[in-house]
Chain A
Amino acid sequence: MNKENLLDTLLARQNASKEGYLDREAIAAVAEEFAMPETRVFEIASYYAMLEIEPQAKYVLEICNSTPCYFSKSNEVAAWVEGELDVKPGDVTGDGLFSWHYTPCVGACDIGPVIKVRDTVYGDLTKETVHALIQDLRNAKNGKKFR
């Protein structure tokens, strides 16, 4: 495989994984595919913010806190999310479904404050839409895949 596909391959593997991260086997497989030492692939997986080397919740809510969003009430969004989920940033809810953390700008500042979940950005958030988003994600666990 050409090296320029490395990050794409790692992201695709991570997305397809059950727990949303690159485990040792995934790293080893990619290392072989790209003829690179495992330690190099591991270093890369730890370097980039979107690549995870630890198991993740099913839905990771990323709240943008760069200044355009932060001063458009993303701090309130964080408080609402924390209230709904009752976990601190980085911690996973008891049912394994949710966690949340901050992220720098995701390039959707015109609809800030925003939350990114996997590849989807939800914008112009209010307390009600944050609540609805979490409900929708929770309900999607029964069969329907949320994308």
Chain B
Amino acid sequence: MNKEPVLLKRIGKMRDPASVEEYTGLGGFAALRKAVQMDKEDILKEIDTANLRGRGGAAYPAGRKWRQLYGIEGTPKYIVCNADEGEPGTFKDKVLLEKDPLSVIEGMLVAACVFDSPEGFIYIRGEYHTVRQAFQKAVDSAAAAGFLGKDILGVKGFDFTITIVSGAGAYVCGENSALLNSIEGKTGRPRVKPPHLAEVGLNQKPTLVNNVETFACIPVILNIGGKAFLEMGAEDGGGTKLVSISGHLKNRGVFEVPLGTPFEDVLYAEEYGGGPFEGKPIKFLHLGGQSGPLAFPEQIGGAYSYKGLEDKKLAIGSGAIVAMDESVSVVEYSKKVMEFFVYESCGKCTPCRIGTTRILELLEDFVSGAAEKGDIEKLDAMLTQVMALSACGLGQTAGVAVRSALTHRRAEFEARISG
């Protein structure tokens, strides 16, 4: 398997990550030059062949999303980059935004070219103040070099600008419809869907929303070809994935892992996680952010790929891998996860607002030893309800981690029941 990085290859090699000259010297903007010469249908075909799955968490095929928007009438079409990066344990978009921002800009430019879009937005979480400054510098230098603005690459009518929008601390704004509301200066709560954002998006216009890493993959696909991209990864999802490792593994940080790499290598190989920190065995992992499932040792094996994980009822999600050693209680961990959802629920719908609070109260009982016989069943039923009745992805996934804990470590919950 080829382990040469494609997303992180320029990182650390540029003195000034905002420099168009350095970026171009390391292969930058070659894909955009290709794109303006290519038939749009052929660009879409390459992305289809690459089987690029969205890197923001939902893993929706980018090719399919682009095709849907391509088929929609209506102008203008907007290009939006989701850089809200709010999933706890996820810090990989930050690396691209700060250390190779022009690759994200190039990905957005290819989209602009495909959709004849005049305007793009990137929504960067409020906490990333210095990241926003770094990205602004790259936008400015791209504009100065003629890569943003009018008649880009000398192509008459290829006009595109990118505006940076700041978040202000709301996890739910990472949900794409809430994100668009937030850009429009509204309170960042999710919209009722349908209508689909491809049709009725930003300012009611057709809109593409993709994650930072998804956009950064686009130039790679055009440079090496969709087929090579697919072959770099796994059949059910091509390319490499940026993985954010935190918690009780020796090497914490962002790593570029070819999809299909043995899962155990991601955790234990020196070049990735490096094995447990302080030598205590890993008790469980939390994958893909707080909205993802916990993974227990008996589920860890096979390939780190979309299907490899799905087969074990796990998910890659944002690529977060939080490792917890034996010192951590699954029950207490579950409680902390629910605290997060209670705090971040936007309050728009009752099942999520009230339901997550009730679940947290029950989990607090388990932690304190006040839980009674029948509470496990009660907990289980509440998880089902909240996830089934919530209006957006936040509530719909709020119980995933706790549910996986209950499924695989029911005994730990039982041991906390008094009487």
Contact = CB atoms under 8 A, between A and B. Distances in A.
B130 A68 contact: no
A112 B185 contact: no
A114 to B, nearest CB: 11
B86 interface: yes
A2 B185 CA distance: 9
B257 to A, nearest CB: 15
Best-buried of A49, A71, A112 by chain B (most CB within 10 Å): A71
Given A109-B88, A110-B253, A4 B121 contact: yes
Given A49-B169, A105-B89, A107-B91, A11 B184 contact: no
A60 interface: no
Contacts of A2: 163
B85 to A, nearest CB: 6
Contacts of B167: 7, 48
B170 interface: yes
B378 interface: no
Interface residues of A, number: 36
B168 A107 contact: no
B127 A71 contact: no
B337 A67 contact: yes
A98 interface: no
Contacts of A49: 168-170
A90 interface: no
A107 B121 CA distance: 21
A69 B94 CA distance: 18
Interface string B317-353: 0000010100110000100110110011000000000
Contacts of B296: none
Interface stretch (B6-14, B144-152, B240-248, B304-312): B240-248
Contact of A109 (B91, B165, B183, B188): B91
B182 interface: yes
Interface residues of B, number: 51
Given A4-B121, A110-B253, A47 B188 contact: yes
B344 A104 contact: yes
Given A68-B246, A107-B127, A110-B252, A6 B185 contact: yes
B94 A107 contact: yes
A30 to B, nearest CB: 11
A36 B88 contact: no
B184 A3 contact: yes
A74 to B, nearest CB: 10
Contact of B89 (A4, A51, A66): A66
Nearest to A64: B88
B169 A50 contact: yes
Contact of B324 (A3, A10, A71, A107): A71
B333 A67 contact: yes
A70 B336 contact: yes
B247 A71 contact: yes
B171 A104 contact: yes
A48 B170 contact: yes
Contacts of B126: 7, 11, 48, 50
B88 A66 contact: yes
Interface in A6-34: 6-8, 10-11, 34
Given A66-B88, A110-B91, A119-B129, A104 B340 contact: yes
A47 B348 CA distance: 12
Contacts of A34: 185
A44 interface: yes
Contacts of A99: none
B90 interface: yes
A2 B163 CA distance: 11
B403 interface: no
A145 B5 CA distance: 41
Contacts of B125: 107
A106 interface: yes
Interface in B74-102: 85-91, 94
Contacts of A106: 127
B127 A44 contact: no
Given A107-B85, A112-B246, A4 B169 contact: no
B254 interface: yes
Interface in B235-270: 244-248, 252-254
B50 to A, nearest CB: 27
Interface string B49-92: 00000000000000000000000000000000000011111110
B3 to A, nearest CB: 21
**Top 5 A-B pairs ranked by shortest CB distance?**
A3-B185, A49-B169, A105-B88, A50-B169, A48-B168
Given A11-B168, A72-B246, 17 more contacts: A11-B126, A44-B187, A47-B170, A47-B187, A48-B168, A66-B89, A67-B333, A68-B89, A68-B246, A68-B322, A70-B336, A71-B324, A104-B171, A107-B90, A107-B127, A109-B89, A110-B246
23 contacts: A3-B184, A4-B121, A5-B165, A10-B168, A34-B185, A48-B126, A49-B168, A51-B168, A66-B336, A68-B89, A72-B246, A72-B248, A104-B340, A104-B343, A105-B90, A107-B90, A107-B91, A107-B127, A109-B91, A109-B244, A109-B322, A110-B246, A116-B127
